[in-house]
Amino acid sequence: MSTQSTWKQIYPSIKTAVAYLEPIDLLLTQAVRTLAAFYQTDCLLWAGLETENPDSFQVYATSGARHFVTGRAVQQSLSPTELVLKDDLSLNDSFPAVWQIYPETLPEWLVTQQRLPQVTQLETGELIVPATHNGRLSADFTGSFSVGAVATSADSVRSLQLVLLLNRPLPSQATEAISKTDPADPASPQGWSLAEVESLEVVCSQLGLAYSALYWQQRLEQARRQASLVGRIVRLLNSNLNPDEIVGRIVAELGQGLNCDRCILIDLRSTPPSILAAWEHPDQQLPPLERQVDLTRWQSVIDVFIQDGVSYLEVEQDGINSDPLQDWLHAIGAVSALIVPLFIQAEFFGAVSLLSYQSDKVYQLDELQTIRQVADQAAIALTNAQHYQSLWHKQEALRMQNNSVQLEIVRDDLTQLMNRRSLERELEQFSTKAVWAVQEDFCVIILDIDYFKLVNDTYGHSVGDEVLQHLAQRLQRQLRKETAIYRYDGEEFVVLLAETTLTEAVDVAERLRQAIRAAPMKTSAGEISITASFGIAQQNSAQDRNAWDVLQRANRALDHAKRQGRDRVKTL
């Protein structure tokens, strides 16, 4: 079998992969399958060695060669292209199974090849054929082959790109002959002809060229997608969407653009930490994810981001030396995660995490830069959310001024205060996830007229209506113009105080209580004195899921005030 006829029979599979711009992993899988089938050998291929980053190495092996490398293995399926190539190559046997392996350690022979690449045969009989960026290692095999040794020629010091390991079972006497072979002896390696070795060098060289072509084409396409991703997110920030929609879309764009299985944005300031937004790959059936996460598992992440200034973390499951975050990965069924910190106006807020469930995903430097850039854009969206509430109020006020019909819908006919429907819309705005996560604390005051049923029973409902009108006027005089008061239910009223502490809210409620009881109200039935009871609650992210929870706590505080004698202020 001549050298030329051998590699020309294998070359079509490599040429096809490049012509159709197939993914690199498909090219490498096809190469291993074809080589193993054609040469009737177990085959192992290491790729991506030029990065010198073990996390970027790609390892593909037939079943019989899996034991040459330690790590988690995933079987690769046979592609339609390979089925065609099998017939074209006239291979009687089916293509062997190929596994992609995520290596845990580097074998000693590979470390040697990284220093000085050369065709060699290990003492255990395996043939090693490397490919470098500079092409073939030698013009011919004679004089360059060694057994268990390393060439010292300056020509062999090249940038290693790919390495093939091929293994044919040898009889015991052949193995013994290998160990006694003189490195200077030009004899061919045991179990291989010189023509086969030369053809393998050519194939490996051509495979390296194809790998480079697809690699740079893939990187170019990656750069285009990343630029497009950033462009879409910038347009989102300039859109009229509310903060919830913007943050959710940013997380979705990041997950789709970086091809992960799940992307989440975690608020690590809250107690407990919670997932603010999440995206899942539509083609993946992923286990459900709890919205709240355990702070103890994330404390180390918070520390390294805040104290050590780390720009990102890559975490993989490790059953041997697991830490709390790896335990979290195991609990949610993920294999690995990339975590990037999120800062809002220089204050640590949380993190964006890209989760992989099928296999460990390695991110290139430019991808990391894109992720950090997108995280900065997400921070801008959350910063905008801090101002969203006040902007919404201004827009609502302007809309009300220009729409008398709408004004009638949101105002109470009797008191001219905002009505319950308007309060519910306001609470909905406060509860928007993005706003809820970043807004300043707010307080809810709810007040109820003491013994108001007695007023209605004694004087009639028309006089009761007069009392409600007088009360509304007194409340408005005691509060700033921009502070909205709502008639919540009958004789109950609600005041929302944005960016207000509990102590400040108590002072406001006491001022209102004193104003109500200070002087009798003049009605058609004469002067009537009334008092009111107050309940107050401040937003608490540890126990409140939304603004309605704060209102409910204020209502419970009001109940306490009534049970303890009325005409008083209680907090909860």
Do residues 82 and 105 make contact, with C-beta atoms less than 8 angstroms apart?
Answer: no
Q: Give how far Cα 204 sits from Cα of 133, 155, 276, 345, Å.
A: 11, 18, 49, 52
Q: Where in the chain is the domain with CATH 3.30.70.270?
A: 403-571
According to DSSP, residue 56 is labeled: G
In the numeric block, which tokens belong to residue 476?
């408005």
Which pLDDT score, from 0 to 100, does residue 447 have? 95
Helices 243-257, 365-401: crossing angle, 10 deg rounding: 160
Do residues 254 and 230 make contact, with C-beta atoms less than 8 angstroms apart?
Answer: no
- Cα 457 from chain centroid (whole Å): 62
Residues in the chain: 572
Which pLDDT score, from 0 to 100, does residue 156 have? 41
Residue 404 in 3-state DSSP?
helix
Do residues 301 and 310 make contact, with C-beta atoms less than 8 angstroms apart?
Answer: no
Alpha helices in 140-193 (DSSP H): 172-180
Residue 150 exposed, middle or buried by CB count within 10 Å (0-12, 13-18, 19+): middle
What pTM value is reported for the model? Answer: 0.52
Q: Where in the chain is the domain with CATH 3.30.450.40?
A: 239-387
d(CA 311, CA 339): 9
According to CATH, what is the number of the domain 239-387?
Answer: 3.30.450.40
Residue 536 in 3-state DSSP?
strand
pLDDT in tens, 259-271: 889 998 888 877 7
How many CA within 13 A on the CB side of residue 97?
Answer: 9
Do residues 206 and 183 make contact, with C-beta atoms less than 8 angstroms apart?
Answer: no
Beta-strand relationship, 532-538 and 569-571:
parallel
Which residues, other chains included, contact 543 with Cβ-Cβ below 8 Å and sequence gap of 6+?
Answer: 549
In the numeric block, which tokens belong to residue 240?
């009229």
Closest CA to 287 of 256, 323, 261: 261
Do residues 433 and 277 make contact, with C-beta atoms less than 8 angstroms apart?
Answer: yes
Phi/psi-derived region of residue 77, left when phi > 0, alpha when psi is between -120 and 50, beta in every other case: beta
Q: Dihedral of the CA atoms 485, 489, 492, 498 (nearest 10)?
A: -30
Which residues, other chains included, contact 477 with Cβ-Cβ below 8 Å and sequence gap of 6+?
Answer: 515
Residue 273 in 3-state DSSP?
coil
Element (H, E) at 216: helix 194-237
d(CA 470, CA 473): 5
Which pLDDT score, from 0 to 100, does residue 444 have? 94
Residue 368 exposed, middle or buried by CB count within 10 Å (0-12, 13-18, 19+): middle
d(CA 144, CA 169): 23
d(CA 123, CA 148): 6
Which pLDDT score, from 0 to 100, does residue 157 have? 45
The fold for domain 403-571 equals: Alpha-Beta Plaits (3.30.70)
Residues of the chain below pLDDT 50: 1-3, 83-84, 86-92, 136-157, 173-175, 177-186, 391-392, 400, 404-408
Q: Give how far Cα 337 sits from Cα of 47, 48, 375, Å.
A: 23, 21, 15
Vertex 566 angle, CA 562 and 571, to 5°? 65
Which pLDDT score, from 0 to 100, does residue 260 have? 87
